Structure 1
Amino acid sequence: MVKKLLIAVNKTLSHEDFGKLLLRLAVGGLMLFHGLHKLFDGIDGIRGMVIAHGLPGFVAYGVLIGEVLVPCLIILGILTRPAALVLSFTMLVAWLMVGINNTWMLDKTGAWAIENIAYFFIGGLAIAFMGAGRYSLARDPAWR
């Protein structure tokens, strides 16, 4: 009886393409909030961090690619795998710039201090490995 129930539940929930869409919406949608904040309020803080690390200030504009353009592509399912890799790279840079000293720390609520960075990094990798799935604006699989 339990086995039949498990088989029925597994069959009912076996919609991999819908799962991929939900993952794309969660990872891309939540990252987009970070990017829109920087787009509307400016990237001066990011520019300061980039310059403090010895890089040219224009590198800060890469955050708009990684946190605005890339999430939009992921949400829409266009160039999903390369966009997801760029998102993961963006999170690697974020970790190196602001999170590396917090890697083994907890925040004031007991959460891992870099869990947002880890979530987006791993979510980006998961999307890169799985692809967009069927629910994508790109009809040609090469563009998914």
Structure 2
Amino acid sequence: MVKSLLNSVNNMFSHEDLGRLLLRLVVGGLMLFHGLHKLIGGIDGIAGMLVSKGLPGFIAYGVLIGEVLCPILIILGVLTRPSALVLAFTMVVAWLLVGIGETGTLDVTGAWAIESIVYFFVAALVIAFLGAGRYSVAPAWK
């Protein structure tokens, strides 16, 4: 009886392409909020951080690629794997700029201080490994 129930549940949830779509929508959608904030509010803060580390401030425009363009492409399922890798790289840069000093700390609620950076990094890698799946705007460009 238990085996039959488990098989039924497994069959009911065995929809890999739907899982890929849900993952793309959540990761791309949540990252897009970060990118739209920078698109509307500006990237001066990021440019300032880069300059303070001896890097040219214009590199800050890369955040718009990593946090606006790539999430849109991920959501649509267009150039999904390259976009996911760019998003993962963006998270490495975010960690180096703002999270490296907090890597071993917890925030006020007890969560890992760089939890969201790690979440987006790992989720982007998962998307890069899985690809867009069947439910995408351009399945041939996955």
TM-score scaled by length of structure 1 = 0.98
Structure 1, residues 4-58: CA drift from partner, whole Å, max 9, x if none? 0000000000000000000001110000000000000101100000111111010
Structure 1: gaps spanning 5 or more residues: none
Q: 2:134: which partner in 1?
A: 134
Matches within 5 A, 1:62-141: 62-140=62-140
For 2:50, give the aligned amino acid: V
CA RMSD of aligned residues (A): 0.5
Matches within 5 A, 1:35-50: 35-50=35-50
For 1:53, give the aligned amino acid: K
Structure 1, residues 37-85: CA drift from partner, whole Å, max 9, x if none? 0000101100000111111010000000000000000000000000000
Name the % identity.
72
CA–CA distance in structure 2, aligned partners of residues 23 and 32 of structure 1: 14
Give every structure 1 segment of 4 or more consecutive aligned residues whose post-TM-superposition deviation is greater than 4 Å.
none
Structure 2: gaps spanning 5 or more residues: none
CA–CA distance in structure 1, aligned partners of residues 61 and 139 of structure 2: 30
Q: 2:4: which partner in 1?
A: 4
For 1:130, give the aligned amino acid: L
Across the two proteins, how many residue pairs are aligned to each other?
A: 142
TM-score scaled by length of structure 2 = 0.99
